[in-house]
Chains A and B, each alone.
Chain A
Amino acid sequence: MMSLKEVDLLSISLKQYVYKLKAYSALFYVLLLAQIIALFFSLNGISHMSSGNGELSVSVNTYSASLVIVFSFFWILFAAIQLTTKQYKKIENPLVTNSISGNLSNIGFLMTACVFGGFTSSLVGVLLRIIMYFTFDRSQIISDEFILAFSDLLLGISVTILYMVLISGMGYLTGVLTKVSMAFVIIIPAVIIGISKAYTEIFQSLIKFFTLESSLPLFALKVIITSILIFGVSILLSNRGEVSQ
C-alpha cells in the first residue's frame, strides 16, 4: 500500500535550505574574494587632503571600510538574481519540491547570505583598523572614529544585514520578473533610468526613504515590510510558471 503520509511544506523547505546552503557554498568564495579586494582598495584611503603655508604642510588621509560593504551589496544582488536562473533552479528537480518550497529555501539561503555578508563586511572594518594600527605610525592616527565602540559595531552589522536583505529582495524580484518575461531584462533598467531622470524627486525620495532614516527601529520596520512585500510578490509570480528544464 502506498504511503498516504502528507508531506509538510516547512520541513521540505528546511531540507532544501540545508541542501542549498551546501550546494551554493561556492558563492561565498566570491564574497570573500570581493571583500578582500575591497579591503586592498580601502588600504589606499578614500581621500587625501593637504594644505599648507610657508612653514608647514598638513595632509590628511581618510580611510574607510565602506567599500567592503558596497562590494558585499553587489554580491548579494547578483547572488539573488543568480538563484532565479535556470541553471540554479535545475538542482531542485531531483528533490521533493514545489514552487513555494523552492522559493522559501531560496529566501532562507539569501537571509543566511545576508547575515554572513553583514557580519563579515562590518568585521572587515575591524581588520582594516588592526592593519592600520600595525602598519601606520600610530601617532598619526586620529583616534576619533578609529576607536570603534562595540555598540557601533553591532549597529553596523545589523544595518548592513538589513540593507542586504532589501537588496537581495530587489535582486530576487528582478530575477523572477525576467523569468516571467524576458522583456523585463530591458524594461527594468529602462524604468529605473527613466524614473531617475524624469522623476528625479520621486526617485530620490524613494532612496531617502531608507538612507535618511536615522531611527534604527523605524529603519528596520521599513526594510522588513518592504522585503516581505518584495519576496511575497516574487513567490506569487513564480508560482504560476512551469519549471523549465
Chain B
Amino acid sequence: MSRVLSQLLLFLIGIAIVFMFKFKRPKFYRPLSWKLSVLATGLYLGVLIMLVPILYMLPAKDFIKTAEDKDQPIASSLNLMNNLYNQHFPTEGDLDKLKGIYKNSDQTFKLDSSKLSFNLQPGTENYHVLIERKDLDDGEIDVSTYVTAQYVGEVNFTKRILPPTISVENGMLSLRAPDRQTFEFKQLNVDFTMAQFNNQNSSIHEMSSHFANHIIFIRVPQSLEINRGVLGDRIQII
C-alpha cells in the first residue's frame, strides 16, 4: 500500500468514526446494556493480556537474525572484488578465511579430456571464474563456488543463495546460473510510541540492498590445456 493511499484511508476512517458518533441511532435499535459492554471490554482486554505470555512462549529460533555488523563483511567483499579487478588474486585458502565470503558448493569432476573449454551461459555475468593449477596431474577438477555478502537492510541472506550448476563433459565446463531466486522478508516496525524513546526510527526504513558476486574457484591438473575462448576477461588463471 502506498504511503499516500494509506494516509487517505486513515483520514476516511477518521471521518467514519466521527460520523459513527454523530448520527443518532434509529429508534428501534435497542442499545446494549452496560453490563454487556463491561463484559465485552473486559474480555477484550483480558484476551489481549493473555496474549503477552503466549508471545513470549513462542520459540523464536526460526526467525532471521539480523547482522550485528554488516559494514565489515561488505567492506571485505568489496575489497575482494576490487582486488580481482586489479588482478590481485586470492588463493583458495584466503577465500575461506575472508569475512563476508561464503562457500556454497564444492564439487569434484573426473576429467575426460586433456583440454578444458568453458561454456558460461547467460545469467552468469556476475560470476568470476578463477583457475588455479594444482601441483600434480590427478585428472580431477575441483570446483568451489563462493558468494560474497548479500544484504537487504540488516539481513544477511548470503547463505540462502543457490550455487550455479556446474558440469564437465567432453572437456567442456558448463556454468549455469540457478533459476531466478526470489526472497521475501517480513519486518515489523515497533510502534512509534516506543520508537520515540528507543532511538529507533519508526518511519519506514530505507532498506538498502547489497548484491552478491559469485566466485567460481577451479583447481585443475597441472598440465591441463585451458582454452578460455572469447571469455578471457571473465576467466582468470592465477
Residues 15-26 of A, flagged 1 when their CB comes within 8 A of B and 0 if not, give 000000011011
Q: Which residues of B contact A53 (CB under 8 A)?
A: 126, 211
In the complex, how many angstroms separate the beta carbon of A144 from the nearest chain B beta carbon? 5
Q: Which residues of B contact A137 (CB under 8 A)?
A: 184
Q: Given the known A-B contacts A25-B37, A30-B20, A144-B154, are A159 and B188 also in contact in the complex, defined by CB atoms under 8 Å?
A: no
| Inter-chain contact A130/B51, CB cutoff 8 Å | yes
| Inter-chain contact A146/B188, CB cutoff 8 Å | yes
| Inter-chain contact B211/A44, CB cutoff 8 Å | no
Q: Given the known A-B contacts A37-B13, A70-B10, A159-B193, are A23 and B34 also in contact in the complex, defined by CB atoms under 8 Å?
A: yes
Size of B's binding interface in residues, CB under 8 A: 71
Residue from the list B17, B66, B193, B200 in contact with A163, Cβ < 8 A: B193
Interface residue? A245 (CB, 8 A): no
Residue of A at shortest CB range from B211? Answer: A53
Residue from the list B31, B44, B125, B196 in contact with A159, Cβ < 8 A: B196
Residue from the list B3, B41, B65, B190 in contact with A116, Cβ < 8 A: B41
Q: Which residues of B contact A160 (CB under 8 A)?
A: 191, 193
CA distance in complex: A120, B191 (Å): 13
Residue from the list A58, A66, A74, A75 in contact with B191, Cβ < 8 A: A66
Residues 20-35 of B, flagged 1 when their CB comes within 8 A of A and 0 if not, give 1100000000011010
Residue from the list A67, A126, A132 in contact with B52, Cβ < 8 A: A126
CA distance in complex: A130, B45 (Å): 16
Interface residue? A203 (CB, 8 A): no
Residue from the list B1, B31, B181, B184 in contact with A140, Cβ < 8 A: B184
Residue of B at shortest CB range from A30? Answer: B20
Residue of B at shortest CB range from A34? Answer: B17
| Inter-chain contact B44/A75, CB cutoff 8 Å | no
Q: Which of B79-129 contact A (CB under 8 A)?
A: 123, 125-126
| Inter-chain contact B196/A211, CB cutoff 8 Å | yes
Q: Which residues of A contact B37 (CB under 8 A)?
A: 25-26, 28-29
Residues 49-69 of A, flagged 1 when their CB comes within 8 A of B and 0 if not, give 101011111111111111101
CA distance in complex: A212, B17 (Å): 28
Residues in chain B within 8 A of chain A (CB atoms): 1, 3, 6, 9-10, 13-14, 17-18, 20-21, 31-32, 34, 37-38, 40-41, 44-45, 48-49, 51-52, 54-56, 58, 60, 62-66, 123, 125-126, 152-155, 157, 161, 177-178, 180-194, 196-200, 202, 204-205, 207, 209, 211
Could you give 23 example pairs across A and B, Cβ below 8 Å?
A: A26-B34, A46-B1, A54-B123, A56-B181, A57-B182, A58-B157, A60-B153, A61-B186, A62-B186, A62-B205, A63-B189, A64-B191, A65-B191, A122-B193, A130-B58, A139-B62, A140-B186, A141-B64, A142-B64, A142-B187, A146-B63, A148-B55, A159-B196
